[in-house]
Amino acid sequence: MQLDLESRLTNDHHQSLKLWLRMLSCTTKIEAEIRSRLRAEFGITLPRFDLMAQLERHPEGLRMGELSKRMMVTGGNVTGITDQLEQENLVVRVPDPKDGRAFSVKLTAAGRKAFAQMAEVHESWVAELLQEISQEDKGQLIELLSQMKGHLYAREQKDKP
């Protein structure tokens, strides 16, 4: 068995730590497989795919700061990814109608077509990677993780000044 984040755990560790490391370990394994497949099948990185996914959900375009916030990466990362995708004619920068000094980023027609193909295959990969988990168990996991997310957001709001 390959060593991962959980390998450092002992029976003395708190159950919450075990849960967090188990979730992180599963996420890391799935993400590594998806990264590898995106690179091999489409010659694209996961961050580029993620940026295109954000733009696909917002056909009106998103400003760079909004992309950065949604992707949880720095503005410099978003700029670099956008530059690459723009060179490949997959995205375009357009003046923001609400602020002439700012730009929004949109998928081009070629970008929408390329993303649609990738998204369909990506979804099938995720389904394949999780196929051994029953529908009932998936539903239960979704519900439990939704509760956890709600608790974390509530805590975050409580801690804000």
* pLDDT recorded at residue 58: 95
Calculate the alpha carbon distances from 157 to 51, 52, 153, 161 in Å. 27, 30, 6, 9
Can you give the pTM of this predicted structure?
A: 0.82
Mean pLDDT of all residues in 96-108:
86
Q: Which tens digit of pLDDT belongs to each residue from 63-75? A: 998 999 999 888 8
Q: Which tens digit of pLDDT belongs to each residue from 127-143? A: 999 999 999 999 999 99
For the chain, give percent helix, strand, coil, nearest 5.
70, 10, 20
